[in-house]
Amino acid sequence: MDYDFLRKEKMAALKEKDTLKNSVITMLLSGLTYKKKELGHDPSEADCYDVIKKEVKQVKESLEMAKGRPETALELEKKLAILEGYLPKQMSAEEVEAKVKELLAQAGIEATAKNKGLIMKTVMGELKGKADGKVISAAVDGLLK
């Protein structure tokens, strides 16, 4: 996933006359341009995913505020589906829980409430981008009980 890939996707959306997808990709390209200026070099793949996640978060917040306006909510849901299509597949709660147990065993960390900070640091370093932070936190909390 990089700027060139998104440019090609934008061109495909233009050819298909898919205005919604075109606008979503334009928004992502704009975010990547700002990221490039901020970093001073081309954004990495992880930076690209961060930009997409930021947009996903904003669309989800807008969706929460669009309750009672079905037309707006429908368009936001479509945008969200397009954005999530560019993110890597997220791990399920069961996969996260198994991975957390495996990481704790490898690191030799005891699953106690006192070690939660260390556990989260270890687990987040390994699973960042592969699973939602809330799912990871819930899996860790489940092991600490």
User: Do 25 and 79 belong together in one domain?
Assistant: yes
Is pLDDT above 70 for 52?
yes
Q: What's the confidence (pLDDT) of residue 37?
A: 93
The whole-number pLDDT of residue 18 equals 92
CATH no. for residue 55? 1.10.1510.10
Q: Which of 31-35, 37-41, 116-120 is the least confident region? A: 116-120
* Tens-digit pLDDT profile for residues 110-119: 877 787 888 8
Which CA distances in Å does 17 have to 14, 27, 80?
A: 5, 17, 19
Same domain, 59 and 108: no
Based on the fold, state whether residues 67 and 99 are members of the same structural domain. Answer: no
Q: Could you give the angle at which helices 133-144 and 93-107 cross, rounded to 10 degrees?
A: 60
The first and second tokens of residue 79, run together, are 């945008």
By residue range, what is the domain housing residue 64?
3-85
- Structural tokens at position 5: 């890939």
Summarize the confidence of residues 92-121 as an average pLDDT.
83
Number of domains in the chain: 2
